[in-house]
Amino acid sequence: MDQSALKEYFQIAIRNLRTRSLRSWLTILGIVIGVFLIVSLLSLSEGIKETITKQLKSMGGEMIFIMPGSEASPLTMMMGGDKLEKQDMAAIKKAQGVDKVLGMSYAGSVMRYKEESKNAFLAGISWKESLDVLEKYQGWSLAEGRWPLPGKKEAVIGQQVANQIFSQKLRANTEITIKGRKFEIVGVLNSLGSKTDDSFAYIDMDIYQSLTGEKPGSAQVAMVKIEEGASLNQVAENIKTSLKETRKRRIGTDEADFAVITSEKMSDIAGGVLGVIQFAVVAFASIAIIVGGIGIMNSMFTSVRERTREIGVMKAIGAKNSAVLSIFLFEAGIIGFAGGIGGTILGAIAAKAVELYGQAHPVFYFSASVSPGLVAFGLLFSFAVGCLSGFFPARRASLLKPVEALRRYE
Amino acid sequence: MELILKLENVWKIYQMGKLELAALKNVSLEIPPGDFVAVMGPSGSGKSTLLNMLGCLDFPTRGKIFLKNKDISSLSQDQLSQLRGRTIGFIFQEFNLLPNLNALENVMLPMIFQKVPFLERDKKAREILNSVGLGSRMLHQQAELSGGERQRVAIARAFANDPELVIADEPTGNLDSKTGKMIMELIRDFQQKKGKTVIVVTHDPEVASYSKKIINIKDGEIAINHQPSWTSQP
């Protein structure tokens, strides 16, 4: 290709696009939509992935989680459902290799401070049994104040509750109302590493259960710290077996409707689910871009037909095939690239808007991750689609014989 | 003396379904430098086909065409385009300017295809446009120019690469007689002052009267008339 003249051909291409600007913009719009979908959805799902990974990390390494629902469908775990009964908790505790079992229950709850009522999470934790595990293995620490005493209406709150949710900052030794009862905030936690975890107020399990009507001794989820030197997977198996036996004795079925998951497996599951989501996102958005590409091809073929004579003239006055090819390829490539820029900008804006919405509604924390790689991908992909879909029309134009091109429309 | 253009037993046969139509029948022709030739003939006579051959826009079915002693059938499309762009300037009845470019850019285009550097082609295009009297209209688009002005831009474009041969296809066909005369004078000046070769296709005796030689074409065969029946030039 004659490189020296590429700049000129590029300018001519721009000129040609400008003269049919409405058509050019409409064609560009087709690409914008596809790239918009890719950038916005991928950056959101990437953000969710990061948030979840961070949260899993904050849960600590060598732990086993027991949650209601089935392992096969992670969504039921998140939704909750059945609770771990007192017997179940006992079954977990007696499984071989289990050092400590921490039961925890939680629910969304309205909290009132002075005249303000806000939504946050409320969790029950048995301070007596859990505190040292939380401190040693989960990295819990206090930014100020002290830990609540078992059996007292005292709470520690996460960073979000302390600093973000209420218009005033909450400090230790203030009083808030939770579910109509007065609690004293005795401490503020350092950040636990995820916004969701930081949006909790943690109170004593017994008080939580009397407040919510949950049966004493049961829990929604349980975390297990294994004995020193035991194998994580083996202990998980032991817990499963033990739980099954108990359940069989109690309600006559050994179907597992609890999921026993190691921290490793949890990140695998989360990663797998998000992988599928991202794959679907890319697949659908690619279809949108391909449709946009067909739009480019259509528009370029029309343009070649309309400008047949022009092509003939260019060839008569000395244009090589490659010159004509370059001009038409540039036109298609520019359409694709412009669509890519538009789509990327709109996609990034949309992703950030969703993120802001999420921050304003604390139940819905995640960040959008518009990575440079994603931006580069969006731009390159759309440029490539433009060039690819412009190739056949451009080739047709470049191979026109001058005499035929000139004769056309005479 | 090197001939600009030579046609040797050229046939052009079009296949119309099962019918074969010979648009040119065994045409041989030599165009030396400095010639001013008019091609005349009724429509359907093969005039356009001959023009395409003379302009090296098409290959003959049989026979050979030599452009500056080079057999054009031995050239690739790209090589032929380059040679044509360097050697032949075209002027069309419908002007055929590129609608998206202004006058100056249209004149620069053939030079872009010959890879003339920007400063040089810009300067040259301005000079030529000045010489055809369009110095003040250089940055206008085609739509803002009159027919005569458009044809002058086309002439400037044809002259851009300083070609040895200019082929004009009914250059005055879309113009009034006064403008047509101005156009023909520009073409004649180019031929006379620079010693270049001009082939003009026309059915207008006025236009043909500028030429030294007339090629009459009828039913695909040519007859060369060295002495036009009208001798006085307007």
Looking at residue A101, its pLDDT comes to: 86
- CB pair distance less than 8 Å for B84 and A322: no
Nearest to B81 among A18, A309, A315 (CB): A315
* Planar angle of CA B13, B16, B19, nearest 5 degrees: 80
pLDDT band at B117 (very low <50, low <70, confident <90, very high): very high
Chain A CB within 8 Å of residue B106 CB: no
Q: Decide if B115 is inside a domain.
A: no
Of B48, B98, B115, which has the smallest distance from its Cβ to A310's Cβ? B98
DSSP character string of A242-270: HHHHHHHHHHS-----EEEEEHHHHHHHH
Which range has highest mean pLDDT (A5-9, A169-173, B7-11, B13-17)? B7-11
Q: Measured between beta carbons, which residues in chain A are less than 8 angstroms from residue B158?
A: 317
Q: If you search the block for the tokens 């078992």, which residue do you land on?
A: A150
Kindly report the nearest CA distance between residue B77 and chain A, in angstroms.
8
Which chain A residues are closer than 8 Å to B113 by Cβ?
5, 314, 317-320, 323
Structure tokens at B180: 């047509």
Say whether pTM exceeds 0.80. Answer: no
Q: A395 CB near a chain B CB, below 8 Å?
A: no
A406/B113 Cβ within 8 A: no
Closest CA to B35 of B202, B172, B191, B142: B191
Q: Which residue has the tokens 């590409």?
A: A293
Per CB-CB distance under 8 Å, the chain A contacts of B110 are 317-318
Mean pLDDT, residues B109-129 taken together: 94
For the record, the structure tokens of A74 come out as 């992670």
Q: Is residue B32 part of a domain?
A: yes
pLDDT at residue B1, rounded to an integer: 66
Residue A321: closest CA among chain B residues belongs to which residue? B78
Taking only the tens of pLDDT, chain A with its 410 residues reads 455 688 889 999 998 998 888 999 999 999 999 999 988 988 888 888 777 777 666 665 677 888 776 665 555 555 555 678 888 888 888 888 888 888 888 888 888 888 888 888 899 988 888 888 888 777 788 888 899 988 888 999 998 888 888 888 888 888 888 888 889 999 999 887 777 788 889 999 888 888 888 888 888 888 888 887 788 888 888 888 888 888 777 766 656 577 788 877 777 777 788 888 888 888 888 888 889 999 999 999 999 999 999 999 999 999 999 999 999 999 999 999 999 999 999 999 998 888 888 777 655 566 778 888 889 988 999 999 999 999 999 999 999 988 888 875 44
Q: Give the number of other Cβ atoms within 10 Å of residue A207's Cβ.
A: 20
B86 touching chain A per CB within 8 A: yes
Residue type, A191: S
Looking at the complex, does the CB of residue A349 fall below 8 Å from at least one CB of chain B?
no
Nearest C-alpha of chain B: how many angstroms from A322?
8
Residue whose C-alpha is closest to residue B14's, from B56, B54, B58, B55: B58
- Asked if A319 and B58 come within 8 Å (Cβ–Cβ), the reply is no
State both tokens at B170. 């009914």
The position carrying tokens 């989360």 is A270
The domain segmentation of chain A, as residue ranges, is: 3-55+268-407, 83-256
Q: Which of A16, A309, A318 sits opposite B96 (nearest CB)?
A: A309
At residue A117, the pLDDT reads: 87
Q: Which residues of chain A does B77 touch, with a Cβ-Cβ cutoff of 8 Å?
A: 320-321, 401
Contact A318 B84 (CB under 8 A): yes
Domain count, chain B: 1
End-to-end CA distance of chain B: 31
Nearest residue in B to A315, CA atom = B81
Inter-chain residue contact B77 with A4, CB threshold 8 Å: no
Tell me what percent of the residues of chain A surpass a pLDDT of 90.
27
For every residue of A348-389, DSSP letters joined together read: HHHHHHHHHHHHHSTTS-------HHHHHHHHHHHHHHHHHH
CATH number at residue B31: 3.40.50.300
C-alpha span between A32 and B88 (Å, rounded) = 45
Q: How many whole angstroms separate alpha carbon B141 and alpha carbon B144?
A: 5
- With the C-alpha atoms ordered A117, A122, A127, A132, is the resulting torsion angle positive or negative? negative
Nearest to B85 among A8, A19, A317 (CB): A317
The two structure tokens encoding residue A245:
């036996």
* CA–CA distances in Å: residue A115 to residues A121, A171, A184, A188, A291: 19, 16, 16, 21, 54
Contact B82 A320 (CB under 8 A): yes
**Domain contains B80:** yes
Nearest CB neighbour to B98, from listed A5, A313, A318? A313
pLDDT, mean over chain B: 90
The answer to whether A3 contacts chain B (CB < 8 Å) is no
Gap between the Cα atoms of A197 and A191, Å rounded: 8
| Chain B interface includes A6 (CB < 8 A) | no
User: Residue B59 belongs to what domain range?
Assistant: 5-96+147-152+162-225
Can you give the pLDDT at residue A253? Answer: 61
- For residue range A131-151, list pLDDT tens digits in order: 888 887 777 888 888 999 888
Q: Do A318 and B101 touch (CB under 8 A)?
A: no
Q: Is 60 exceeded by the pLDDT of residue B207?
A: yes
pLDDT of residue B233: 47
Whether A131 contacts A174, CB under 8 Å: no
What is the β-pairing status of strands B19-31 and B88-91? unpaired
CA distances to A55, A115, B128, B185 from B125, rounded to whole Å, are 69, 80, 5, 20
- Put simply, whether B161 touches A (Cβ < 8 Å) is yes
* B57 at A interface, C-beta within 8 A: yes
A317, A322, A326: best to mutate for the B interface, most B CBs within 10 A: A317
| Whether B101 and A15 lie within 8 Å, measured CB to CB | yes
pLDDT band with cut points at 50, 70 and 90 for residue B198: very high
pLDDT of residue A296: 93
Quick check: is B86 in a domain?
Answer: yes
